[in-house]
Each structure stands twice: as C-alpha cells, then as structure tokens.
Chains A and B, each alone.
Chain A
Amino acid sequence: MAYLDQQSKSLWQRLWNFGCSLKLAIALASAATILIMGGSLVMHFNPAIFASMEQETMSRWLPQAWAQAPKLVFWVPLSGLCVLLFAINTLCCLIDWLCKIKARWRKTGEYLIHAGFILLVIAYIWGNISGFRSGPHRIFPGERIAIPEMPGYALQLDEFTPRVEPSGRPLDMINRVSLWKNQEPVAKALVRINHPLIYDGLVILPTSFGQELQGFRFHMPSRGLVDLMAGSRLPISPEITLEVRRLLPDARQNSQGRVMQVGSRLNNPAMQLSLSGPTGQLWEGWYFLRSPLPKALKEAGVFLRPIEPINKTFSLLTINRDPGDKVALAGSIFISIGVIFAFFSFYRKRAQGDRPEV
C-alpha cells in the first residue's frame, strides 16, 4: 500500500514537474510560433476565408471558416491549443514559484509578467467566447437602433458632424451618442476617432460615414424651387395633385418595363410619381431624372427641372463587446509593472549569479 502511495505520489510529482518544465514551454511556444508563421501566410493568400476574421469573434468565425475550408484553417485551433497549453504551463510555473515565495522577492517582475500573460490568454478566450462584434451600423442623427446581441440595450445617435478637409479628406467623425438600457439612458459620450464610448464591456466607435439620397430639389417655372422626396404631395391645380411614391438613386428599366434598383449611389436617379384627380388616380409612372419629363406630366402642366440632390448624412458605428477587456487591461498592467521591475532585478540577479540552469 505504502509502495503504491509512493508510486502515485511520484507519478503526480513527475506530472507536475512536466507541467512546470521550461523545456515543455519552449517546445509549446516553438510549435505555436511555427504554426502561426505558416498560418499567417495562408491567411494572407486566402482573403476570401480570412478577411472576415477581424470582423468576428473567434467563436463565430472559426466554425464557419472551418466549414468552408478545414485544410486552410486547421492551424488556427491547433496553434490556439498550443498557446493554451503554454499558458497552463506558465500557470504551473507560477504556482510552483509562489509555493516557494520566501526567498524570491527579487523575482516580483517575473511573477507579474507570467501572471499577466496568463490573464491575457484568459481575457482573449473569454472575450472571444462571450463577446461579439457587430456593424458597422448605419445610423442617422436622431435615430435609435436596438443592439440585438444585448437585449434591452439601444444606441441613439443624437448628433453627427463629420469633419472634412477642404481637399475632401475625412479628418474626424464627431458622434454625440447615448446608450440606452431598458428605455433609460445609461451613458452619453462624444464618440470620435480614438475616443470610443466604453460601457460594461461595450465599445462603440466610429467607422465611417456616408450620405443617402433623400430627395431632389427641382425648379418649377410657376413656383421656383421645390423639394420632393418619397411621400411628398404637391398640389398642381385645385384638382390635380402630384405624389412621389418612391425615389431610387440608381435605377434601370428592364425589357418588360419593370424598374429596378441597381445600386445605392447616386447614378441614374428615378422617381415613381402619380397624378391624382377628384375621380382617383390619373397616371402613374417613372421619371428618370436624366431623361426628359414623361409626356403625361407635361400634359398635366407639371414642368420639373432637377437642380440638385438632397442628401442626408449618416454615421457608420461599430458596436463590439469584449467582457474580457478588464482582465486584459489587468494583464497589461501586471506585465508593464513586471517589465519595469525586471529591468532592475535583471542586473541584481546577474551580479549574484542567481539564475536557473536546465
């Protein structure tokens, strides 16, 4: 019995020693390094699979990429496993040291660096399993959108001012936003480049901005300038009213006469218009703004000359959540302080010949 006890103890001891082994650490780190080196090139030459890697958390990206091309993706989980085992290895090392902490105060720097690394690995795993990355979301000033990944939360863009150089180069995007939780505002911030709104693991940041065609400004001989947008109604005479049904920024008419949207940029704009009188609808049809006015409109006395588009600016905001970010920050602080400590203790340890040899 005693023999068995001793044998299991020594097995446990050997396992523990293996877990703490520096050689194992070097083997795991080398394996991860070689896998990631090769993988990074695979990544670079296969953007179709890997381009979305940055827009998704690992737990969302990996299954779909694996389903598409397991042979190109296998290195990701494999190197992840090596790094995880390496972190466990570091943890064992750290625990082993801490058990013998008495004589080791001058190793505070190393303790902090090793602990910080473990925290970073935990933070990455946590953030990538229970976090999300969403967007960019198109939001107009005054609009509020729900954050579907976090029920109860909504993001409102209160005000948006893009800053652009005279040359047209974008300088900054100034978004006054508020974050709502269960219909109550919980945070407000001025979000711009390098200044996100950070709240409860959520990071809200500006990505870009753009313009959406809202309507057109026309000149009418009898009235001067008029603005027409989808839903506008314009009385032409006491009996006849012009109504704008739809506005497409880039439209095309197919051979059967059906009008379809081709793109969202202003290119070949078209308006679906209708004329109605006391007896009901008199005419309905499409007016392509680059072509002459439809005959029916002219006959009804509607003379429109397009002057300029009316655009509304929207902001593109990205909403990410990384619940591990505070752990990562703690890890970074540990490592930074550890490095500063280690800068000093390195020379002391060297002067005293204090270093392990394996």
Chain B
Amino acid sequence: MSKALLYLLFTTYATATVGYLVHLVWRRAIIARMSLALIAAGVLLQTGLLGHRWWLAGYLPVTNLFATLFFFSWALALIYLYFELRYRIRATGLFVMLLNLILLGGALPRDTSVSALIPALDTPLFSLHIIFSFIGYAFFAMAFSIGVLYLCQTRMKSEMLPDLPTLRRINEEAIFLGFGLFTLCMIAGSIWAHIAWGHWFSWNIKSVWSVLVWMFYAGMCHAKFIRRWQGGVYAWLSIAGFGVVLFTYLGIGLLLESNHPLE
C-alpha cells in the first residue's frame, strides 16, 4: 500500500476532525457538513485501499498489527457514518474521529507489506472471526466515545451535542450491535479452534479475555434494564468495557507476550 495514500487518508480524517472542532466553536452548519463529506470521502478511500490489499493478497489481510489497526479504523469510520446519517450526531464525530486518528496514527509508521498467509490462518472461518471481531470492537469503541460524551453532556448540557436520551439510545444500540457481532466472531473462532486444535475453547490468555469481553458486553445488554444504571452508570460501564477490549486486543500482546496470531 502506498504510504502517500495512507497519509492522504490520515489528513482527510484529521481535517474532518478539525472541522468538527471549528464547528463546535463557531457553530457553522456548513463546516459540519463539510467534515461529514470529508469522512465519507475518507471511508471511500479506505474501502478502496482495503479492497486493493485484499485483492493483492488473495485473502483479507488482517494478520498483523498494521492490518488490524487499519481495519479497525475503517470499521469505526463506517460505523460513525451509520450513526451520523441515522441520528445526526454531528459534534459527536469530533470524539469518535479523534479515536479513529489514534488508531490510524498507530498504523502509519508500521510496515504495510502483505505477507503470505500461514496455512493455519488459511480458512474462511479465520476471515469471519476477524471481520466480526473488529466490527464488534468498532461498535464498542463507538459506545466508549458516546459514554464519554454522555458524561460530558451531563455537566455541559451543550446544544451542540445530542441530548442525553439520544446519547443513551445510541450507546445502548452500539453495545447491542457490537455484542451481536462479537458473538458471531466468538462462534467462528470456536469452530475454527475445533478444527485446528481439536477443542473449541482454549485456556490461553487471549481466548480467556475474549470470553471476558463477551461476558462483559452480554452483561451490558442487560444492565440497561436496571433503572438505576441507565445513563451515568451505563456510560461508565461502556468506558470500562472498552478498557477490557483494548487490553484484549493490544495489552495482552504488548504486555504479556501471548502467542495469539493476531498481536
């Protein structure tokens, strides 16, 4: 993948983020609209780059940290577009896109080359496992951003941000959709583990933490029914949940040297 295109993508998202910031200060709708257009253009470019890498490699390239960060960032931008078009959450984009810039920024200095697929990963179950996992993670990242905004909004009561009930709805929806997709990721992963290692659940640290992520968000699908937890507690839980996601995705690989193929 050309680094120039990668930097162009980063600049597009960065400009959109700055646009949202300007919109927040000057309150010009046109700037917000331009930011949205930039994000849409960025998503198109990123989809093209991802498709091109897929075509070049002959498999969905999500086998190293560059590729997973890139895919994660793409999924988050896409999900932001979905929520923006559905709920018109404008200034919320500032925070989501900041998170996206961190993901993409983490990918920028890394090696972009695609290597040959190792035989153990050469199965559609692996691709499904990864696609569902990172789209699920992206929904959890969205929920995290909304959770933080919910807490800000409780204090700021800003007109530029969606009202609390809308933020709550979006948060619950992001958690629910993320949980559903992450469930499918776990199922594809278990079937793959069964045919690759002969047991569908492995007691290795990465698998154990993936189950923890799943249990946590299953819990969150229910926590919204508890009247006293709706709103603030739920927002804090979304933030904590994303901490568990980050530890599972990055922390284990960086801090604990696990042998999972994706770190």
Mark A residues whose CB is within 8 Å of B: 22-23, 25-26, 29-30, 32-33, 36-37, 40, 43-44, 50, 53-54, 113, 124, 127, 133, 171-172, 193-196, 198, 203-205, 318-320, 322, 325, 328-329, 332, 335-336, 339, 342-343, 346, 350, 355-358
A322 touches B225 (CB 8 A): no
**Inter-subunit contact A194/B205 (CB<8 Å):** no
Could you list some 22 contacts between A and B, CB below 8 A? A23-B226, A30-B219, A36-B211, A44-B258, A54-B199, A171-B119, A193-B122, A194-B119, A198-B195, A203-B194, A319-B198, A320-B198, A322-B199, A325-B200, A328-B194, A335-B187, A342-B176, A343-B177, A343-B180, A346-B173, A346-B176, A357-B225
Q: With A32-B215, A320-B199 given, is the CB distance from A355 to B120 under 8 Å?
A: no
**Is B102 at the interface (CB under 8 A from chain A)?**
no
Assess the B212–A342 pair: CB atoms within 8 A: no
- Assess whether B205 is in contact with A40, with CB atoms less than 8 Å apart: yes
The answer to whether B198 touches A318, judged by C-beta atoms less than 8 angstroms apart, is: yes
Which residue in chain B gives the minimum CB-CB distance to A39? B208
Q: Is B11 at the interface (CB under 8 A from chain A)?
A: no
Contact with A along B156-187 (1 / 0, CB 8 A): 00000000000001000100110010011001
* Assembled-state Cα–Cα distance A320/B198 (Å): 6
Q: Hey, which chain A residues are within 8 Å of B256, CB to CB?
A: 44
Q: Which residue of A lies closest to B213 (CB)?
A: A33
Q: How far is the CA of A355 from the CA of B168 in the complex (A)?
A: 15
CA–CA, A321 to B216, complex, Å? 30
Q: Which chain B residues border A26 with CB–CB below 8 Å?
A: 219, 222-223, 226
Partner of B197, one of A32, A33, A205, A350: A205
Give the residues in chain B near A322, CB-CB below 8 Å: 194, 198-200
Chain A residue contacts of B211, Cβ below 8 A: 36
- Give a binary string over B112-127; 1 marks a CB under 8 Å from any A CB, 0 the rest: 0000000110110000
Contact A358 B226 (CB under 8 A): yes
A335 vs B188: C-alpha distance in the bound complex, in angstroms?
Answer: 12
- Which residue of A is nearest B196, CB measured? A194
Output the least CB separation between A75 and chain B (Å).
11
By beta carbon, the residue of chain B nearest A202 is B198
Is the CB–CB distance between A328 and B203 below 8 Å? no
A9 to B: closest C-beta gap in Å: 27
Q: In the complex, what distance in Å separates the CA atom of A137 from the CA atom of B120?
A: 20
Beyond A339-B180, A343-B180, 10 extra complex contacts between A and B, CB < 8 Å? A23-B226, A26-B222, A40-B208, A44-B256, A193-B196, A319-B198, A325-B194, A325-B200, A335-B187, A342-B176
Residues of A with C-beta under 8 A to B205:
40, 43-44
Cβ–Cβ < 8 Å partners of A124 in chain B = 201
Roughly how many angstroms separate A124 CA and B193 CA in the complex, as a whole number? 14
Please classify how large the interface on chain B is, using the bins under 10, 10 to 19, 20 to 34, 35 or more.
Answer: 35 or more
Known: A29-B219, A203-B194. A53 touches B199 (CB 8 A): no
- Contact A33-B222, Cβ < 8 Å, known A54-B202, A54-B203, A195-B195: no
Complex Cα–Cα for A335 and B181 (A) = 11
Tell me which of A23, A33, A50, A356 has the highest count of chain B C-beta atoms within 10 A of its own C-beta. Answer: A33
In the bound assembly, the distance between CA atoms of A8 and B202 in angstroms comes to 45
B151 within 8 A of A: no
Asked if B64 CB lies within 8 Å of chain A CBs, one says: no
Q: Contacts A32-B215, A50-B203: A25 and B222 contacting too (C-beta < 8 A)?
A: yes
Q: In angstroms, how far is the closest chain B Cβ from the Cβ of A165?
A: 9
For residue B225, which residues in chain A have a CB less than 8 angstroms away from its CB? 22, 355-358
B18 interface residue (CB < 8 Å to A): no
| Beta-carbon contact of A36 and B226 below 8 Å | no
Known: A50-B203, A328-B190. A196 touches B195 (CB 8 A): yes
Binary per-residue interface labels of chain B (207-234) against chain A in the complex, 1 for a CB within 8 Å, 0 otherwise: 0110110011011001111110000000
B41 to chain A, nearest CB (A): 29
Does B108 have its Cβ within 8 Å of any Cβ on chain A?
Answer: no
The verdict on B2 contacting chain A, using a C-beta distance below 8 Å, is no
Query: Complex: how many Å from CA A33 to CA B212?
Result: 6
B191 in the interface (beta carbon within 8 A): yes
Closest to B187 in A: A332
- Bound CA–CA A328/B200 (angstroms): 9
The digit string for B95-138, where 1 denotes a CB below 8 A from any CB of A, is 00000000000000000000000011011000000000000000
Is A358 within 8 A of B119, CB to CB?
no
Contacts of A113 in B (CB 8 A): 183
List B contacts of A318 (CB < 8 A).
197-198
Q: Which of B177, B183, B202 has the most CB of A within 10 A?
A: B183
The minimal Cβ–Cβ distance linking A162 to chain B, given in whole angstroms, is 12
Complex Cα distance, B80 from A302, in Å, reads 82
Query: Bound complex: CA of A346 vs CA of B203, how far in Å?
Result: 33
Q: Which residue of B lies closest to A172 (CB)?
A: B119
The 7 closest A-B pairs by CB, nearest first: A320-B198, A203-B198, A53-B203, A339-B180, A193-B119, A332-B187, A40-B208
User: Which of chain B's residues has its CB closest to A76's CB?
Assistant: B203
Residues of A within 8 Å of B219, CB to CB, are: 26, 29-30, 33
CB distance from B263 to the nearest CB of A (A): 14
- Interface flags for B64-85 (1: CB within 8 Å of A; 0: not) read 0000000000000000000000
The chain A residue with its CB closest to the CB of B206 is A40
With known contacts A26-B222, A203-B194, A343-B180, A33–B216 Cβ distance under 8 A: yes
B172 → A minimal CB distance (Å): 8
Q: How far is the CB of A323 from chain B (nearest CB, A)?
A: 12
Known A26-B223, A358-B225: A336·B184 in contact at CB below 8 Å: yes
Given contacts A40-B208, A339-B184, contact A205 B198 (CB under 8 A): yes
Decide: A193 near B190, CB < 8 A? Known: A33-B215, A36-B212, A43-B203.
Answer: no
